[in-house]
């Protein structure tokens, strides 16, 4: 017979307050998404006059149609997908082996290497030396420059290293008894066990790539290479600086506000599709399976 837990009045009030706070936080997180979506499908006059605050006013898809007809939008969208997918795969290809090596006590100079990796989280040469270094390496105004220059993050290496250190040595011992080398152990033992950790690191890398803005704006001069975030900046800042263009846009069925909202909504679609597919890895245990000693 299963006994029902008995909660005191204080416990019940604590649960109610927690629930109320979580509802408030959830609404605060959802409101910007609802507002931007409503703004993107409202008329330009309603958006400019400030009549849109929750639901769409004077429903229209003119802003979305205008954005979808812009060739530079699709080019920047494709660039962002390239930087995100290729950049994330490149990061994983470098982070996973580095973390695996740093997790092994037999690595010579392991403490010093780990120290220098962590050191880069607190201190760096600065933006100007970094930019000059990119120029010397001929990585400016290059898609591969964006991919390579930001491929490795010290925090992600430490995160993966900590996971690899938590794996029972019995897995590696059993694999070595079967004649496996380090590459086979990493590929056939550690990586299958590390799916939750790899999914976490991959998501962190992908979000950083998808939201990448500053260095893409600084490094890239060719408009055909800019990502979506830089395109959005050009739409907002450049049109605002040109009062004539902003005024002409505001008189049509769409306005700068609705076009900005449409770009934001369209840029969220891949994230909304992909995130539920990888969310399951965050709810599973870090260790899957085990061995008997």
**Model confidence pLDDT, tens digit, residues 153-192:** 888 898 888 888 888 888 888 888 888 888 888 888 888 8
Residue 78 is predicted with a pLDDT of 92
pLDDT band at 285 (very low <50, low <70, confident <90, very high): very low
Report, as an integer, the average pLDDT of 113-141. Answer: 88
Per residue in 44-88, pLDDT (tens digit) is 888 888 888 888 888 888 888 888 888 888 999 999 999 999 999
Q: Which residues does 282 contact at the CB level (< 8 Å), separation at least 6?
A: 196, 199, 200
The tally of CA atoms less than 13 A away on the side-chain side of residue 170 is 6
- The tokens for 289 are 């399976």
Report, as an integer, the average pLDDT of 269-276. Answer: 81
Structural element, H or E, at residue 197 = helix 195-210
The full set of domains in the chain, from first to last, is: 70-283 (1.10.3720.10)
Residue 287 is predicted with a pLDDT of 42
Question: What CA–CA distance (Å, rounded) separates 248 from 254?
Answer: 10
For the chain, the average pLDDT equals 83
Q: What are the φ/ψ torsions at residue 242 (nearest 5 degrees)? A: -105, 95
Residue 195 is predicted with a pLDDT of 83
pLDDT > 50? residue 121: yes
Lookup result for tokens 């290059």: 142
- The tokens for 104 are 């092994």
pLDDT band at 199 (very low <50, low <70, confident <90, very high): confident
């Amino acid at each position: 017979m299963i006994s029902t837990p008995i909660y005191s009045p204080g416990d019940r009030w604590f649960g109610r307050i927690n629930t109320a706070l979580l509802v408030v936080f959830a609404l605060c997180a959802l409101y910007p998404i609802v507002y931007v979506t409503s703004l993107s499908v409202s008329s330009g006059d309603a958006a400019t006059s400030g009549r849109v605050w929750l639901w769409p006013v004077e429903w229209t898809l003119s802003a979305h149609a205008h954005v979808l007809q812009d060739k530079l939008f699709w080019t920047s969208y494709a660039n962002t997908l390239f930087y995100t997918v290729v950049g994330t795969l490149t990061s994983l290809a470098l982070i996973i082996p580095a973390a695996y090596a740093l997790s092994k006590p037999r690595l010579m100079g392991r403490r010093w290497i780990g120290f220098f990796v962590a050191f880069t989280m607190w201190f760096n040469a600065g933006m100007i030396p970094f930019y000059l270094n990119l120029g010397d390496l001929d990585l400016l105004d290059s898609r591969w420059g964006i991919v390579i220059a930001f491929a490795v993050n010290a925090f992600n290496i430490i995160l993966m290293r900590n996971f690899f250190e938590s794996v029972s040595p019995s897995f590696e011992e059993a694999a070595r008894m079967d004649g496996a080398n380090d590459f086979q152990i990493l590929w056939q033992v550690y990586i299958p066990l590390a799916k939750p950790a790899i999914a976490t690191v991959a998501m962190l890398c992908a979000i950083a790539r998808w939201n990448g803005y500053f260095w893409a704006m600084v490094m890239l001069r060719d408009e055909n290479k800019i990502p979506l975030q830089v395109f959005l900046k050009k739409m907002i800042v450049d049109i605002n600086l040109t009062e004539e263009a902003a005024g002409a846009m505001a008189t049509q069925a769409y306005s700068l506000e609705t076009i900005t909202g449409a770009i934001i909504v369209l840029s969220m679609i891949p994230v909304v599709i992909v995130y539920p597919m990888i969310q399951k890895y965050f709810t599973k245990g870090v260790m899957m399976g085990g061995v008997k000693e």
